[in-house]
Structure 1
Amino acid sequence: MSTLRNNRKKILSAIVVVLLLSILMSWSTNNPQRILFFERLAAEALSPFQKAASSVTRFFTSSWRFIGDVRNVYKDNQLLRAELEKYAGTDLRVLEIQQENLRLRALLQFQEAVEHQVTPAQVIGRNPSSWFSTLTIDKGSRHGIKVDMPVVTNQGLVGKIIDVQPSHAKVQLLISTSSGISAIVQRTRDNGVLIGLSTPRGFTRITRLNQYADIQEGDVIISSPLTGIYPKGLVIGRVVEVYDDPVSLERSALVRPEVDFDRLEEVLIIVNYHSPVDDPIGDGDQE
């Protein structure tokens, strides 16, 4: 019943409004001033609705414009990011090339200064299980490489060739426990035997020094002319600690190699060295 009453009220209200509008229009038909009055009255009545509609229109127009601007900014940002990533990659490649050039330039200068003929090679493989013992280079018998040829860098002694294939060869590192060479204290000319320790820090130890040997921290250790395989005077490393053995009455010292064996990428093989004697201490077993 209440719904029916509400519908009747709405219908009656609409009829009343229509009748009023009809009366006003007929009342002002023959009078221009009345027409203007009626137009002003209608304009005043509709003005709030027009302002509201205009505000809504401006709001949606601005919103769509803002959304479009955001999309454009996002696209520009994506393009800029792609450009930055491209240039960042270029910078990294340039940096790698620059670093490689520095290493190769240092090797070239060493190659020009050394009295022996050398062949450059790239390190192409290292076995995790023998990381501190051996590595593989990209030169082999086709390049004139032979077993027992010394391997060096501009920093110092690396090791020797222990196995040769047509296109590659295996190098036994100076820090391998299978390595043992004659060595000398550069400052005092005291002789000893250098053995590898195969430790992550890459240390070696010089042993069999006379108990009166004058060896100190910081002394440079070089290859001895008695080595049989390595030319004399190749830098091995520096003494970091000296030990005295009260039982054997010998001195020994811990030696840090000059070569960074963790970062070896390029090496030089000495291909024309011929020792006048065999290595008296049997420079380790081949691996």
Structure 2
Amino acid sequence: MPFGTLDRSPPPFFRQGPSALTKLLLCAALAVFLMVADARFKLTTPLRATVALVLHPVQRLLLSPVDAWDNWGDYLRGMERAMAAEDQARKQLVQQAERLARAAQLQAENQRLRELLKMREAMQISSLAAEVLYEAADPYSRRVVIDHGSHQGVKLGAPVITDAGVLGQVTRVYNFSAEVTLLTDKDAAIPVLNTRTQQRGVAYGGERNDASLELRFMAANADIKAGDLLSTSGLDGVYPPGLPVAKVAAVERRGDSSFARIALQPAVPVDSVRHVLILAPVAAHEAARAEAAAAAAAEAASAAERKAQIKAENKARAAEARAKVEAAKRDAKEPAKEGQR
């Protein structure tokens, strides 16, 4: 038989190997053995620790995308919370700033009202507190409108002052409001007195209706200098004496003129006035005082007359009582005389 026809395959016993059932039983027995050995003798603990140590970098590498995603989400959520907290803080800051400004405004307003009340108590002239509503829309004059009128007792020509000094004069009166012409109006004028030299003059409003005054018709050699305080003289019969009017800002003496050019700064900042005090004119106050004095004198005279009349009546009654007593005595003496006879 030629060699090429020989069957060189292994016998069936070596070609098939152990059966599947045998393999299953072997694997099951090995698993039970390993579990028992691990439970009783801890044989696989070092092996498990070694495998965990070897696989830890791989595990961290595989978890890095998940950790990065979680960290990015936490960052975004933190940014949102921080921005929301910043917005809330900004709102609270704005509210606190508004409250602080309102508190400062109320404090300043209370201070001005206290000053007005002090001035009202110091002056012996009837007065009325009012509030400035708005400035009159007239480019050729300087006027403000107040919230009191004839219904509240405001009179035409009444002086208007603040805690700082004279503001102006009432020029128009309505039922529930009135117009006040400021001292800085170009047609306004007020007699003033230099508190340093006691020299009198007249202050006029600025020619351009700006917030300034001028002291006109003062001699070039007059004793006046920057910083002098000017107050009301009381000669016009409108303003009480001693109220601050203005301060001398600049004095210009020119050789070609016999009068000095004197610029004044008003004592009252006319653009920031809110509360004012309306006074009765001095002439009206003097007339009212004279009428009150006359009424008091008439009342005193009538009281004296009534007192004299009562005294005369009392004397007459006393004389009549004495006459009756004497008559009763005489009547008592006559029967006694008749009995003696």
**Is the TM-score greater than 0.5?**
yes
Q: Secondary structure at the match of 2:223?
A: coil
User: Unaligned regions of 5+ residues in structure 2, if any?
Assistant: 1-19, 35-47, 288-341
Give yes or no for contact 1:159–1:171 (8 Å, CA) kept in 2.
yes
Structure 1 residue runs of 4 or more that deviate by more than 6 Å after TM superposition: 42-49
Aligned-pair CA distance for 1:265: 1.4
1:236-247 matched pairs, under 5 angstroms:
236-244=245-253
Structure 1 CA distance for aligned equivalents of residues 282 and 107 of structure 2:
32
User: Unaligned regions of 5+ residues in structure 1, if any?
Assistant: 1-25, 278-287
Aligned-pair CA distance for 1:213: 3.3
TM-score by length of 1: 0.72
Structure 2 CA distance for aligned equivalents of residues 43 and 115 of structure 1:
102
Greater shift in the superposed pair: 75-84 or 48-57? 48-57
| 1:270 paired to 2:275 | no
Letter in 1 for 2:181: Q
Aligned-pair CA distance for 1:239: 1.7
Letter in 1 for 2:107: Q
Aligned-pair CA distance for 1:169: 0.6
1:1-287 matched pairs, under 5 angstroms:
30=26, 32=30, 50-127=59-136, 129-130=138-139, 133-197=142-206, 199=208, 202-210=211-219, 213-244=222-253, 249-271=258-280, 273-274=282-283
Letter in 2 for 1:94: A
Greater shift in the superposed pair: 61-70 or 257-266? 61-70
Higher relative contact order (CA 8 A, sep 6+): 1
More helix by share: 2
Q: 1:213 to 1:60 in 2, by over 3 A?
A: closer
**Larger radius of gyration between Structure 1 and Structure 2:** 2
More strand by share: 1
Aligned-pair CA distance for 1:274: 1.9
Give the aligned CA root-mean-square deviation in angstroms.
3.6
TM-score by length of 2: 0.62
Structure 1 CA distance for aligned equivalents of residues 259 and 70 of structure 2:
94
Give yes or no for contact 2:239–2:281 (8 Å, CA) kept in 1.
no
Q: Secondary structure at the match of 2:192?
A: strand
Instruction: Look up the match of 1:9.
Output: none
Structure 2 CA distance for aligned equivalents of residues 109 and 164 of structure 1:
26
Q: Deviations over 1:56-89 (max 9, x none)?
A: 3333333333333333333333333333333222
Structure 1 CA distance for aligned equivalents of residues 52 and 252 of structure 2:
109
Q: Deviations over 1:170-199 (max 9, x none)?
A: 011111111123223233232322211055
